[in-house]
Amino acid sequence: MYKIEEPIYFYLFIIIPIIIVVFLLVLWWKKSTQKKFANSLLLEKLAPNTSTFKSLLKLSFLLLAVSFLIISLVNPKMGTKLQTVKREGVDVIFALDVSKSMLAKDIAPNRLEKSKQIISRIIDQLGSDRVGIIIYAGNAYPLLPITTDHAAAKMFLQNANPDMVSSQGTAINEALDLAKTYYNNDEQTNKFLVIISDGEDHQEETKQKAQDIANEGVKVYTIGVGTEKGGPIPIELNGGLIGYKKNRQGETVLTKRKPAVLQAIANASNGSYIDGNKTELPVKTIENIIKNAQKSEFETKQFSDYKDQFQWFVGIGFLFLLIDIFLFERKTKWLKKVDLFNENKKK
């Protein structure tokens, strides 16, 4: 097994064709300059030991030296042993509301971006815990399957937006059903679902759905973003504001946070409701809950312990450089016997 530490240095291989072009230009210049002073027969008599083959041989050693030195900069690493790592943690699924109402700016920069900040900060506090992300509006979709790759989770999170969901609304019921499929470890004793929303447009049967998922051992915590005073829902085109959503009477629609709905969901599933308008409060609350939860072993991974191998390529590169330096462009006895280019053939 192997891996490359600095693949960007592969771009240095552009030096190889440059060296070849320079060599050919110099060779052409030498030949054309020599012809100005004497013809080929006279030049052969004046310099009988000059060898084109050894010039090419020197070029080959130089190119090999440069290639090995470039590879040393790339620093290939070879796996030397396998280690078994036992990971312990809890499963945390985030269900993020991406409905249009989450674009309201009654909370800066808007409800959706505030929600992303909260989730991202919580992920930063996790250890070896697994995370997954669900987005929902009129439908619920898996944004990221459950994983220990927290960097990937934050990357996918940043791309979440209302355009990723085909229909608008707030399908919290679908999100709850989808969350059940995320917990794929039957031995996991602590399963958490964190719902972040403004609480608008939730269905009547949501409370029963929350009780059902609680019966499967999942604790549901809800985080409400937005103000009770509310704000208009912006309509944007190419990143620019072109107006606000209006009802059939032509009046601007105001979207308001409804904490009572989110509190009912949390209470029905042995969890709690958290005010999310200040980022620090939900982050600290969820962090403490997860920190105090009993950790379960959920994964055993094998990985290779890699060691640097660049020193071998440096050594071989310098060896070829030394050969190139001490290899003269003159014929030797062995070369006269080989005579690959018929250089000894009389003209």
Residue 103 lies in a domain: yes
In tens digits, what is the pLDDT along the chain, a chain of 347 residues? 677 888 888 999 999 999 999 988 988 887 777 677 666 666 666 555 566 677 788 888 899 999 999 998 988 887 666 666 677 888 999 999 999 999 999 999 999 999 999 999 999 999 888 899 999 988 899 999 998 889 999 999 999 998 888 777 667 888 888 998 888 777 667 889 999 998 876 566 788 888 889 888 899 999 999 998 999 988 877 777 788 888 888 888 888 998 888 898 898 888 999 999 999 999 999 999 998 887 777 655 555 667 778 888 899 989 988 888 876 655 555 545 555 445 555 44
pLDDT value, residue 54 = 72
Q: What count of other Cβ atoms lies within 10 Å of the Cβ of residue 270?
A: 15
Residue 108 lies in a domain: yes
From the DSSP assignment, how many helices (H) and strands (E) are in the chain?
11, 13
Are 295 and 322 within one domain? no
pLDDT value, residue 346 = 46
The CATH number linked to 117 is: 3.40.50.410
Residue 344 lies in a domain: no
Instruction: Fill in the amino acid letter for 43.
Output: L
Are 52 and 90 within one domain? no
6: domain range?
A: 2-75+309-338
pLDDT value, residue 296 = 75
Are 70 and 118 within one domain? no
Which sign, positive or negative, has the C-alpha torsion 311, 312, 313, 318?
positive
Are 151 and 167 within one domain? yes
Are 288 and 164 within one domain? yes
**Whole-angstrom distance, CA of residue 159 vs CA of residue 116:** 10
Nearest to 169 by CA among 262, 249, 236, 102: 102
Are 247 and 122 within one domain? yes
Residue 93 lies in a domain: yes
pLDDT value, residue 1 = 64
Are 159 and 262 within one domain? yes
**Whole-angstrom distance, CA of residue 192 vs CA of residue 266:** 11
Are 95 and 30 within one domain? no
Are 93 and 171 within one domain? yes
Residue 42 lies in a domain: yes
Are 290 and 315 within one domain? no
Are 166 and 61 within one domain? no
Burial class (CB in 10 A: 0-12, 13-18, 19+), 236: exposed
Residue 346 lies in a domain: no
Residue 347 lies in a domain: no
pLDDT value, residue 336 = 52
Total domains in the fold of the chain: 2
Are 106 and 190 within one domain? yes
Residue 324 lies in a domain: yes
